[in-house]
Structure 1
C-alpha cells in the first residue's frame, strides 16, 4: 500500500489579474473548481438588500450560449457531479466537482455564466419569488432567527446587524434604478481582478494551469477593487457580550486575530477530552454541548461565537461563563508546543484525505509564529484573572499516529516466549467468534490505495449511541476516517470510510465503547421540514420487528472494501470484540406490491413538506439500471418544471436513493404556499408526462450515466456505498461492471416500461410527509 501522498500546490496571478490556486493530488478521482468573487451581501448598495444573493441565483438561469438545459447545473448533474453557490458577507463562491473527462466543459460553462448572464426580466420575476419563499422560510426558522438575535450585541451601524436576505420588497426588479444597480454590481465585481480560482484534481500542475488560463480568457478583464471597510464591531472598549435563548448561552468575542489563530483556539475549545472545558461542564451538569466557531472574518475584524447547550436553568449561565474564562486564562498561559504539533498533523491529514472539492476550498496556510503571537495578544486583551481551577490540555489524538505493533506475534500482552502455548478461555472464545464472524471482505474495490470502507449493521440491538461516541467520531474525522450512524428502524448501521491505517484502531475503540453505559442523547438541532423527513426516511422503509432490543439478542454482520490483507487481519481481530453475535442476516426488502403507504412525521416547520419514495418493482439489475436511467433523464426536467417554472417551492429535488439494499426513485418538495395535496397533485401530473418526455428526448443519457459507475473515476466513498447496497441485495462482486453494461443497453422501450411501472406503483409508493394522508387512496403506515 503506498504512503499517503501530499498534494502539490501552486499559486499565481495571471496576466488579467485572476488569482489562481492549483492543487495536484494524484489520489483524486475527480476534479473541482471554486471561483470566489470578492463581493458579497455587505457590498450591495443600502437601497437594495439581497441584490448580491439575487444575482448569484440569476447566473444559473442560462446564457445565450448555454441555455438552462445545457448550463452548469444541468451539465454537472448529468455527469454525476455536484454544484452549488454561496453568498457570504464579503464573498460569493461558485463551486463544482466533476470527473476529469468532463471538467473542462464545466469550467467553460462557469466562465460563460459569470460573464454573459441574460438577466431577462421574466427570469428575474420568477427567481424573485424563489428568494421570497426562501425569505419566508428563513424568517420562520428558529436557528436563523436566533442568529439574528445573537448579533444584536454588535454596533447598530455594522452591516452584520442589517437585513440582507432579499424579498419582494427589497428586490423591485420592475424599477429601472434597481436594474441599473444590478448591472453595475455585476460590472464592478464580476471581473478578473476581483476573482480567485482554485482548482484541484489528479492532473499535473501544468495541466491545471492550462485549464485556468483558458478559463481566464473568457472573463471580463478588470482591476482589483478595494472593498469598503466596515465600522467598528462594538462601541467603545467593549469586546464581548452574552446572549441567552432557548437553553443556549452564546458568548461572543470580537477581535482582530487571524483566521488560522482562531481555528487553532476553536479546535481545543471544542475538544471533549477529560480535563477540558466541555468535560467539566458535563461533569457539573451545566452544559451538554459546546461549539466554538468564527461567524465573521473580514478586514481585521472577527467574531468568535461560543455556543453552550445548557443542561440546567438559565441562571447557571453565569457559572458556565466563569468556567469558560477560567479555561481561557489557563489556555493563554499554557505551553502550546504539543498542541501546535498536533494542529500541524491535523492539517496534513486533511490534505491527505480531502476530496477534490474540499481540497479546492482548503485555504489553510498553517499556523505561523505571527498567528501565535496574535492569538496570545487577543487573549491578553481580555484581561482575564489567573486561572484558579485545575485543567488539562487535550491529549494527542491516538488515531493520528501509526499504531504501536504488538511485542511478539501469537503472545498474550504481558507474556514472554516462556508462556507460548498457554491460552485462556477468553482467547478461545474470541477466536471462535472471529472464525464464525459474518464480516466479509470484498475485492470489488482495489486495495492498492490508502482508502477503505467498513460497514457494520446490527439487528435488534439497543439504539445506536451516536451522541455518546462523539469524541470517537471527532478523533476519527481528524485522522481521516468518517464514522457515521444510521437508524434503520429495528436495525442500525455504522459506517467507517477513509484512510485504511486508522480504521482498525477506531474499530477497537468502538467495540469498547458500545458496551459502556450511554449518556443521554442531546436534543437534535431544529432542521427545515424536508431535512427532518429525509432523516426519518430509512426507518420508514425498513421492516420492524417485535424483538426486544438488547445486546443479548443483537446480531450483526459487516462488509469491508478496499483493505489490504494486513488491515483485514487487524479488523477481524477488533471485530471479534464487538457486542452481539455475528450472523449472516438475510435482507429481504419489504414488498409493497402496488400499495401506497403514507407515513406522517411531525416537523418543527408548518410548511408542507413531502417525500415520495418509489422502489423498483424487483431487486434485479435490469430494473435498477432502467430506473437509474429514468431518474437520470427526469432530474433536470423535474427541477425545471416544479422549481423554476411553477415555483411551488425552494426545496425541490429528485434522485435515485438506496435504502438497506433497496433501490428507488425519490422526489422531494417543501412549499411555503401549497398544501400536501397540492404538492402531490403536481407530482402526479409530472409523472404522467414521463412517456412524452422520453419520446421527445434525442439522447436518453445512457453513456453519461454509465460513465458515472466506472470504478476508476468513482470516488471510493461513493463506490463503497453502491457496493454495500449491492451486497445487501445479493448482487455479484462485479456489480458495477454489470450495472454499467445494462445502463448502456437500455432502450427507449425499456424506459417507457419503467415509466409505466412507476406510474402504476408496481414497486409501491411510500409518502413521508408532515401531515395526515390526503385521501383514502393512501394507506396509513402501521
Structure 2
C-alpha cells in the first residue's frame, strides 16, 4: 500500500511498505546536490533488558564498526567523511536513529552501507571490548555536562517507576562483557528490533521518486523479516514526585529550568513545540522575552524537548537567569504568559504569519535537516500542547554552583540535588500582548540610497535575489570594551528577530579582536534591516549598555561549564587575533568616540544597497602575514585532559590551501579510526581544515579521560608520523578519487549562497585575490603525492603551530603563554 502526495512546496513524496514490512518514505527535492538517508529503528533505551543498562546505546555504537559487506575501513563513517558529508546516530527512549547526508551521486553507496551495517553488523569481540571503553569515556564526560545532569535531575521528579530515571547511558560497569549471558542478550535485542518490520527508511534526494524507490527496494527487500513484538506500555509521567529542585553544578550556575511533563501528543509534539518556540523567542513589546528583560529576571530562554518519544516527553524552558533573580516570580511570569496564549487562541493573523515562517525555514533546510525536522503542526495540536503546560505538570529546577551535600542518583548520574519548599502562588500582573505583524513582511516605500561604497562580490545566479552584508570594526586604540558586544546584541534582538522572520539571518559577534556584523538573505529585506541596525549599533538604549558587563560575566560562567575541548575551540580565534579587552563603555559619548575612531572593513555579496551611514574609518585589508613559531597556551580549566593543535597555513597561497584541504580529507577518517577506534582515547575529538576569520589551517584536537596531555601529544605526533607510510603507497587512482571528491564538495559549497558568501568574506579578510577560489580549484588539478608529503612534513616538523591545553607542554621548544 503506498500513497503519493504533493507537498506545499510542490515536492512530490511517496510513502509505502515493502513486502518484509520495511516502511519507506521518499521525498523528491529538485535543485539540491545532496541527499539524506535516515533509518529509524523502533527500539530504544526503554526497550533494553534491565540486566544491561545502556545496551541500546552500546548497540548504536557497535553497528558502525563494520558489517558483512563493508569492513570498518570501508564502512559508513569513513565513506561519508571522505565525501565531506554528515553522519551520526542517536538513541532515544523508544527508537534509535541513524542518518547521513552525502552528494546525490553517492546515494546508493551510502544506503548500501547503512542498511548492511544495521542488518548484518560484525559485532566482533575485540571491537566490542574497545568500544566499551569509548562508551565509558563518553559516560565520564557526560557526568560533568550541565545539560545531562539537568535532564537527570528532571527525570528524578517524574512519577515513581518511570524509566527516564533509570540508567540508560551505559558504562563499563553496566555492560558486563564478562558475563556469558551478555552477548546472547545483545544479539537478541538486535534480532528483535533491527528488523525491517520495525524500521522506517526515509530518503530525500533530487532523484525522481521512481529511482529512489528502486534503490529502496534493491537494498531494503533483502532484509530478513523478524517476529512481531507487542507494543510497549508507556508508563505515566504524572503525578510528579517533586515539584521544586535545586541542582549544584560546577560552572553551571545562573540557570532556571521550567519543565512540563507532557503526554498523549502523538507525532505532533515536536511540531507543536517548534511553533511555540517561535512565540517564546519573540522580543516584541508585551511579550515574554521583553517582560523578563525589563524585570531583570532572565537574559534569554531556549526551548527544547528532552527525552521525547511516542508523544511523551519533557518540554524544557531553559532560562539564562539574571544573578540573584527571583525564580518564583520568573515562574509566575511564564505561567501568566501561557495562560494568555491559551485565552487568545486561535491567534488570527499571528498563526498564519508564524506558520509561514516555519514553512520558509523548512524550505531552506539541507536534505538531512529536512529528514530530521518535524512536520508543520495544526492549530488544534498547538492548543492541545498548551493545555498541558500548567502548574500541575511543572518541574521547577534552579541550577547554581552551590554544594547541596546530597548523594542523589538519577539516570545513573550522581547529582548534587536538593528539594525546595513550594513557592508557588504568585501571579503576573503583566498586560500581555501578541506580537504585532512583522514590519519586514509589510511592503514599504522605496528607500533612497546613500551610496555607501563597499567592496563587492557578485551573487550566485542560482540564488537570485539573495545578498549578504559583512562589516568588521577594529577599535583604534585598544580592544573591544568589556560587555559591549553582549550589550549591542541585546539591543539588536527585536530587529534581528523580525528580520529572521522575513528571511534575513545573521547577527553581531566579537571576532578577531573586533566586532563583526553579518546579515544574509533577501536583498530587499536586507536593505531595510541594515537601515535599522546600523543606527542602533551607534546609539543603543542606555539600559542595554548598562547590562553589558553583567551579560558578559554570565556568558563567561556558562562557557566555563563546557567540556574542555569546547572551551579551547572558543578560545582559539581570539588567540589567533591576539585579541585584548578594554574597559566597559557605559555612556553614549564614549561609545560615539569609539565608533568614530574604529577602523572598518566591509563587503557586500550580491545586489545589496546600504541605506545608512557606516560608522568608523575605512581600512584596507592587508595580506595576512605568516604565523611563525610554536606557541603553547595553557588554559586553566578543570576536567579531562584536552589538547588542541592548530597549524596555520604559511603562506596562505592557493597551492598551500589546496594541499592542506586535500591532506585533511585524507587524514580525518584515519584520525577518528586511530584515536577513537583503536586507542579508545575518548569520544570528543576533531580533525580537519578549518578557518577562523582570516586564519586557515589544519586542526587536531582530542579530549581523554584516561590519558594525560603529554600522552595525547605523543599519540598525535605518532599519528602524523604514521601517515607518511600511507602517502608512500598512495597511487594515482586513489589521489584522483580524493581530488574529485574534494572538488565536488567545494563546488557544492559554492552553490549554497550562505557558505559562498561567507567564504568570500573570509577571503576578503585574509587579503586574498578575488579569484582565490578558482586558483584553489586549479591547484587541486596539479597536486601530486609529493605535495601532500611536503604538507605533512610541515606538520611533523611543527615549526608553525599554536597549541592549547590544560597542562604544561610535554617537550621543550615551545613559547609559553598563560
Q: What is the TM-score when the length of structure 2 is the normalising length?
A: 0.84
Residue 631 of structure 2: aligned partner: 597
Residue 510 of structure 1: aligned partner: 533
**1:373-452 to 2 correspondence within 5 Å?**
373=384, 375-376=386-387, 388-399=429-440, 401=441, 403-406=443-446, 431=450, 434-435=451-452, 437=453, 439-443=454-458, 445-446=460-461, 448-449=463-464, 451-452=466-467
SS in 1 for 2:181: helix
SS in 1 for 2:747: coil
SS in 2 for 1:83: strand
- When structure 1 is superposed on structure 2, of 340-349 and 736-745 the one drifting more is 736-745
SS in 1 for 2:344: coil
**1:211-222 to 2 correspondence within 5 Å?**
211-222=215-226
> How many Å apart are 1:393 and its aligned residue?
1.3
* Mapped partners of 1:441, 1:90: distance in 2: 51
SS in 2 for 1:618: coil
> How many Å apart are 1:139 and its aligned residue?
1.2
Residue 52 of structure 1: aligned partner: 56
**1:200-215 to 2 correspondence within 5 Å?**
200-215=204-219
Residue 614 of structure 1: aligned partner: 647
Deviations 1:272-331 (A, max 9, x none): 3221223222212223233333324344533222333332537x2222222222222222
> How many Å apart are 1:182 and its aligned residue?
0.9
* Mapped partners of 2:377, 2:211: distance in 1: 26
- Which consecutive residues of structure 2, in runs of 5 or more, have no partner in the other structure? 1-7, 248-252, 395-424, 584-590
Residue 702 of structure 1: aligned partner: 739
1:669 maps onto 2:702 in alignment: yes
Deviations 1:48-69 (A, max 9, x none): 1111111111111112321122
> How many Å apart are 1:533 and its aligned residue?
0.8
The answer on whether the counterparts of 2:512 and 2:693 sit within 8 Å (CA) in structure 1 is: no
1:737 maps onto 2:771 in alignment: no
Residue 570 of structure 2: aligned partner: 535
SS in 2 for 1:530: helix
1:323 maps onto 2:333 in alignment: yes
Deviations 1:198-217 (A, max 9, x none): 22233333333333333322
Deviations 1:521-547 (A, max 9, x none): 262333211111111111111145799
The answer on whether the counterparts of 2:255 and 2:321 sit within 8 Å (CA) in structure 1 is: yes
- When structure 1 is superposed on structure 2, of 239-248 and 626-635 the one drifting more is 239-248
Residue 244 of structure 1: aligned partner: 246
Aligned match of 1:718 in 755, 776, 794?
Answer: 755
Residue 642 of structure 1: aligned partner: 675
* Mapped partners of 1:627, 1:241: distance in 2: 55
SS in 2 for 1:185: helix
* Mapped partners of 1:591, 1:546: distance in 2: 24
The answer on whether the counterparts of 2:24 and 2:202 sit within 8 Å (CA) in structure 1 is: yes
SS in 1 for 2:595: coil
Residue 585 of structure 1: aligned partner: 620
* Mapped partners of 2:613, 2:225: distance in 1: 63
* Mapped partners of 1:283, 1:738: distance in 2: 53
1:305 maps onto 2:316 in alignment: yes
> How many Å apart are 1:385 and its aligned residue?
11
The answer on whether the counterparts of 1:192 and 1:221 sit within 8 Å (CA) in structure 2 is: yes
**1:150-299 to 2 correspondence within 5 Å?**
150-222=154-226, 225-235=229-239, 241-245=243-247, 246-256=253-263, 257=265, 258-259=268-269, 260-299=271-310
SS in 2 for 1:707: helix
1:765 maps onto 2:801 in alignment: yes
SS in 2 for 1:396: coil
Residue 630 of structure 1: aligned partner: 663
The answer on whether the counterparts of 2:727 and 2:789 sit within 8 Å (CA) in structure 1 is: yes
Residue 551 of structure 1: aligned partner: 595
The answer on whether the counterparts of 1:32 and 1:201 sit within 8 Å (CA) in structure 2 is: yes
* Mapped partners of 1:373, 1:638: distance in 2: 48
Describe the shift of the 1:248–1:706 C-alpha distance in structure 2 as closer, same or farther (beyond 3 A). Answer: closer
The answer on whether the counterparts of 1:657 and 1:664 sit within 8 Å (CA) in structure 2 is: yes
> How many Å apart are 1:233 and its aligned residue?
0.6
The answer on whether the counterparts of 2:84 and 2:665 sit within 8 Å (CA) in structure 1 is: no
* Mapped partners of 1:665, 1:16: distance in 2: 47
1:455 maps onto 2:470 in alignment: yes
- When structure 1 is superposed on structure 2, of 460-469 and 673-682 the one drifting more is 460-469
* Mapped partners of 2:229, 2:352: distance in 1: 38
Describe the shift of the 1:368–1:66 C-alpha distance in structure 2 as closer, same or farther (beyond 3 A). Answer: same
* Mapped partners of 1:31, 1:146: distance in 2: 35
Residue 412 of structure 2: aligned partner: none
The answer on whether the counterparts of 2:260 and 2:389 sit within 8 Å (CA) in structure 1 is: no
> How many Å apart are 1:340 and its aligned residue?
1.6
The answer on whether the counterparts of 2:332 and 2:428 sit within 8 Å (CA) in structure 1 is: no
- Which consecutive residues of structure 1, in runs of 5 or more, have no partner in the other structure? 411-429
The answer on whether the counterparts of 1:76 and 1:82 sit within 8 Å (CA) in structure 2 is: yes
The answer on whether the counterparts of 1:710 and 1:740 sit within 8 Å (CA) in structure 2 is: no
Aligned match of 2:96 in 92, 95, 101?
Answer: 92
Describe the shift of the 1:756–1:712 C-alpha distance in structure 2 as closer, same or farther (beyond 3 A). Answer: closer
Instruction: Report the number of matched residues.
Output: 738
* Mapped partners of 1:278, 1:712: distance in 2: 36
SS in 2 for 1:625: helix
* Mapped partners of 2:237, 2:179: distance in 1: 34
Describe the shift of the 1:470–1:198 C-alpha distance in structure 2 as closer, same or farther (beyond 3 A). Answer: farther
* Mapped partners of 1:300, 1:729: distance in 2: 50
1:110 maps onto 2:114 in alignment: yes
> How many Å apart are 1:42 and its aligned residue?
1.1
TM-align CA RMSD: 2.9
SS in 1 for 2:127: helix
Residue 414 of structure 1: aligned partner: none
> How many Å apart are 1:358 and its aligned residue?
1.0
SS in 1 for 2:664: helix
1:24 maps onto 2:28 in alignment: yes
Residue 426 of structure 1: aligned partner: none
Describe the shift of the 1:663–1:263 C-alpha distance in structure 2 as closer, same or farther (beyond 3 A). Answer: closer
> How many Å apart are 1:377 and its aligned residue?
7.0
* Mapped partners of 2:229, 2:758: distance in 1: 46
The answer on whether the counterparts of 1:249 and 1:309 sit within 8 Å (CA) in structure 2 is: yes
> How many Å apart are 1:617 and its aligned residue?
2.2
Residue 752 of structure 1: aligned partner: 789
